[in-house]
């Protein structure tokens, strides 16, 4: 396989009721990424789009060809990848294979999701398709209730309280304050966190991500293309690892409900490819959809022991200047979680961190970042390792 580099990024401001069609949002992000990479459209061999809900909420599928057309790429090899909330990163996984495998020298990966133009009821139902409908959905479960089950079980098993989860949300909101394209710009304190509306006991409003719209894109390319397109003074960013791991969708079918095996498998594969260990990871841009998922991800990915993940970061370890920064641009919690686009936003943000262009949100001198995007409550887990090259 050939080495693959991330050479261009584009993102739209995360909004509600953007008043702009989804295809144009996606095309805007793609256009920005192409301009940022400084390459020509004709150099691109493929467009892979991550999306989850457009078929239900926008009556629109076949987004690959549709967006290609609007983005000035008609004719290009194109398709859509779906793995619920990890669709964006799964699309990037295909992009990595197509470049690394020798099929294309440069490709564009986009993620797009519009979730606010339909009723909250419809959006909730669309999101519930990420769970196991026959085992969970038909019983009335939705993502909030499934995460509530996990959180409640964790609290009972390890004897922790709601307050123990608060620092994850507070850190994300702190980081989100200075992300200009982020959705929320709201300082959060423990009192507000604890008193926020109960969605499904014990999940409160500030344990969960906001519903919003967004589109992001990245350009992946060979070393040769990357060198030609290299931005003056910026280091090259290599995709040193890329892997998907899976687990059952239904919580009750899992080996152990509080152990995210998909995270463990996916992380291990990606670290092995990169030839690094957990201790080498300078940023863990994780899937903080719910504070319980942050907790379980830290454990399953090997950064905290079982039952200790919830306490990780209480001494500032997860802040931008801590030993393992997470949610560095606000995460899903504050930047927002336009589901099929989230994984691509994460790659965009991590590129910024590794090139030292994250502005106020800059983490000091990171070399390796683990970027993780999760579908469902842990069923499809996509991990990428991005590495800053000399």
Which residues sit at the interface with a second copy, rule CB under 8 A?
1, 21, 23, 46, 52-56, 58-62, 64-66, 68-69, 74-84, 90, 93-94, 97-98, 100-103, 125-126, 128-130, 132-134, 137, 243-249, 253, 261-262, 265, 269, 375-376, 379-380
CB-wise, 59 or 256, nearer to a second copy? Answer: 59
3-state secondary structure of 8: strand
Question: Rounded distance, CA 298 to CA 159, Å?
Answer: 18
Q: Which of 225, 285, 240 is nearest to 8 (CA)?
A: 225
CA–CA distance, 9 with 274 (Å, rounded to integer): 22
SS3 state of residue 196? coil
Distance of CA 62 to the CA centre of its chain: 22
Choose between 52 and 219: whose C-beta lies nearer to a second copy. 52
Beta carbon nearer to a second copy, 2 or 321: 2
Strands 203-204 and 198-200: antiparallel
The Cα–Cα gap between 330 and 99 comes to 30
Tell me how far, at minimum, the Cβ of 69 lies from a second copy, in Å.
5
Catalytic residue among 104, 173, 337, 384: 337
36, 85, 167, 173: the catalytic one is: 85
Two structure tokens written together for 50: 């991550």
Residue with Cβ nearer a second copy (22 or 366)? 22
C-beta of 172: minimal distance to a second copy in Å? 25
What is the closest distance, in whole angstroms, from the C-beta atom of residue 257 to a second copy in the complex? 15
Q: Of 59 and 156, which has the nearer Cβ to a second copy? A: 59
Nearest distance in Å: CB 207, a second copy: 22
Q: For the CA atoms of 383, 380, 378, 247, what is the dihedral angle to 10 degrees? A: -120
- The four Cα atoms 200, 205, 207, 213 give a dihedral, to 10 degrees, of 110
Closest C-alpha among 114, 108, 129 to residue 59: 114
Q: Is residue 142 annotated as a catalytic residue, yes or no?
A: no
Q: How far is the CB of 67 from a second copy (least distance, A)?
A: 10
The answer to whether residue 337 is catalytic is: yes
SS3 124: helix
Catalytic residue list: 85, 337
């Amino acid at each position: 396989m050939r080495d693959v580099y991330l050479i261009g990024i584009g993102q739209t401001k995360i909004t509600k009721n953007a008043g702009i069609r989804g295809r144009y949002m996606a095309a805007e992000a793609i256009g920005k990424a192409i301009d940022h990479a400084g390459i020509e459209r004709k150099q691109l061999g493929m467009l892979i789009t991550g999306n989850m809900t457009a078929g239900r909420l926008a009556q629109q599928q076949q987004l690959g060809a549709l967006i290609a057309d609007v983005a000035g790429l008609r004719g290009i090899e194109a398709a859509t990848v779906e793995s619920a909330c990890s669709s964006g990163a799964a699309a990037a996984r295909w992009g990595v294979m197509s470049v690394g495998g020798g099929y294309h020298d440069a490709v564009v990966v986009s993620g797009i999701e519009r979730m606010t133009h339909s009723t909250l009821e419809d959006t909730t139902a669309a999101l519930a398709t990420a769970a196991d409908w026959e085992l969970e959905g038909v019983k009335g479960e939705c993502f909030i209730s499934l995460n509530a089950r996990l959180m409640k079980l964790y609290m009972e098993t390890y004897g922790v309280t709601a307050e123990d989860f608060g620092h994850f949300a507070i850190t994300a909101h702190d980081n989100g304050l200075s992300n200009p394209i982020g959705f929320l710009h709201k300082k959060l304190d423990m009192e507000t966190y604890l008193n926020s509306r109960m969605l499904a006991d014990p999940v409160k409003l500030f344990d969960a991500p906001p519903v919003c719209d967004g589109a992001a894109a990245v350009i992946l390319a060979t070393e040769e293309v990357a060198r030609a397109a290299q931005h003056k003074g910026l280091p090259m960013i290599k995709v040193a690892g890329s892997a998907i791991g899976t687990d059952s969708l239904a919580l009750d079918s899992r080996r152990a409900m509080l152990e995210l095996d998909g995270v463990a498998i996916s992380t291990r594969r990606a670290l092995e490819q990169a030839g690094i260990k957990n201790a080498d990871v300078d940023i863990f841009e994780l899937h903080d959809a719910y504070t319980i998922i942050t907790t379980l991800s830290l454990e399953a990915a090997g950064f905290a022991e079982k039952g200790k993940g919830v306490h990780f970061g209480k001494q500032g370890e997860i802040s931008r200047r801590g030993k393992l920064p997470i949610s560095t641009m606000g995460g899903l919690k504050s930047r927002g979680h336009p589901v099929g686009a989230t994984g691509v936003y994460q790659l965009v943000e991590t590129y910024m961190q590794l090139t030292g262009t994250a502005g106020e949100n800059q983490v000091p001198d990171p070399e390796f970042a683990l970027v993780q995007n999760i579908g469902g409550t842990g069923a499809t887990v996509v991990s990428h390792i991005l590495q800053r090259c000399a």
